[in-house]
Structure formats: C-alpha cells, structure tokens
C-alpha cells in the first residue's frame, strides 16, 4: 500500500534483494499498512543511508525493515543512526547461502539493537508481520487483523488433515 505518509520503510542494499524483500511488502499490503520501498546501499550510497536514517522519525516512519546480503551492514548502520525499531532481513547470498548475511546482521554489539529474522523469503514475510505487530501495540485495527490472521493459520492446519489420505 504505497502512500504519501508511510509508517514503514522497506529498504534493501540492492535491487537484487527485491525478490526476497517483496515478501515483506506483500504482508504490509495484506494488512493495509502504508509503506515506502527503496534501494539504499550502506557501502555504495553511505551518505544517502545516513540521511535516510537521521530523518526517518521526523519523516513519520515508525518501523524500518532493512534487507541485505553478504557483508550485510545496512540494518546495523541504519540502527546506529535512528532510535526507531529496525528489523534486519538476511538475504540469501550466492557464496555462503546467507550465513554471511545472517551473522553480519544478528551479531550486533549490545546497545544498538537489530531484530533479526530468518534468512530469505520466510524472514522477509516475518519482517512484514513483525512490523505490523509493532504498530499493533497502538493500533486496534491492526491488533484485530493480526488475530484474524493467526486464526486463519489455525484453520489451515485443521483443514490440512484432509490431505492425509
Ligand atoms: C548487498 O550485496 C546487497 O544487499 C545484496 O544482497 C548483495 C549483492 O548486491 P548486488 O551485487 O546484487 O547489487 O549490498
């Protein structure tokens, strides 16, 4: 749900991360949360990253989802420059299957938190859901929508028994 007043930013180090990060956007679309999406590279566009992070709260953002692969410093470097919650998504890399991305993002030294998800598509999906969950602390509509979503997962499990033939 692209909007003039996004509450969530979905940023990624490269357009090559989009195939993964689109799953976060799909969840935000599903819950009708306004968001923006942008390629911001920690090493190719460090000034843009700093400007984005420094202005994020003043620009009305409430949660930042940052996906990156390899030496994945984008989530940590953004978290270092904003007090907004940052969710890091480790994108699966070619060389090390995402181990490098995961360890780069998850091992933040104490003081600057990054909430790290699983590697890849599931992680991006959960990043979208976690952003919704954070917003739901002060948004009744989202709290109810999340409960409905959980109930639908429960129903799917019950229905899946019919496949055991
Ligand atoms: C990181 O390097 C990006 O997050 C991406 O996952 C990885 C490879 O980038 P490209 O070479 O595909 O642009 O910065």
Can you tell me the ipTM of this complex?
0.96
- Are the C-beta atoms of 80 and 112 separated by less than 8 Å? yes
**pLDDT (0 to 100) of residue 1:** 62
Q: Is residue 18 part of a domain?
A: yes
Q: Is residue 165 part of a domain?
A: no
pLDDT tens, residue order, the chain (165 aa): 655 699 999 999 999 999 999 999 999 999 999 999 999 999 999 999 999 999 999 999 999 999 999 999 999 999 999 999 999 999 999 999 999 999 999 999 999 999 999 999 999 999 999 999 999 999 999 999 999 999 999 999 999 999 998
Q: Is residue 2 part of a domain?
A: no
Q: Is 148 among the annotated ligand-binding positions?
A: no
When divided into structural domains, the chain yields a total of 1
- Are the C-beta atoms of 65 and 131 separated by less than 8 Å? yes
**pLDDT (0 to 100) of residue 4:** 63
CATH number at residue 24: 3.40.50.1970
Q: Is residue 90 part of a domain?
A: yes
DSSP symbol at 16: G
Q: Which two tokens stand for residue 106?
A: 């998850």
Q: What separation in Å is there between the alpha carbon of 94 and the centre of ligand 1?
A: 10
Q: What separation in Å is there between the alpha carbon of 15 and the centre of ligand 1?
A: 8
Q: Please give the residue range of the domain that contains residue 82.
A: 8-139
Q: Is residue 161 part of a domain?
A: no
Q: Is residue 132 part of a domain?
A: yes
Would you call 115 exposed, middle or buried from its count of C-beta atoms within 10 A (0-12, 13-18, 19+)? buried
Q: Is residue 111 part of a domain?
A: yes
Q: Is residue 122 part of a domain?
A: yes
Residues with CB under 6 A from ligand 1: 13-14, 16-17, 41, 68-70, 91
């Amino acid at each position: 749900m692209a909007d003039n007043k996004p509450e969530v930013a979905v940023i990624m180090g490269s357009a090559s991360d989009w195939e993964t990060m689109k799953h976060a956007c799909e969840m935000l679309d599903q819950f009708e949360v306004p968001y923006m999406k942008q390629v911001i590279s920690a090493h190719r566009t460090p000034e843009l990253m700093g400007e984005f992070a420094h202005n994020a709260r003043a620009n009305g953002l409430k949660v930042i989802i940052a996906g990156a692969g390899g030496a994945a410093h984008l989530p940590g470097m953004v978290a270092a420059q904003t007090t907004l919650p940052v969710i890091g998504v480790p994108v699966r890399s070619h060389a090390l299957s995402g181990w490098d991305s995961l360890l780069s993002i998850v091992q933040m030294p104490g003081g600057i938190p990054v909430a790290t998800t699983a590697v890849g598509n599931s992680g991006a999906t959960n990043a979208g859901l976690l952003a919704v969950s954070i917003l739901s602390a002060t948004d009744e509509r989202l709290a109810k929508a999340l409960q409905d979503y959980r109930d639908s997962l429960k129903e799917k499990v019950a229905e899946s028994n019919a496949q055991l033939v």
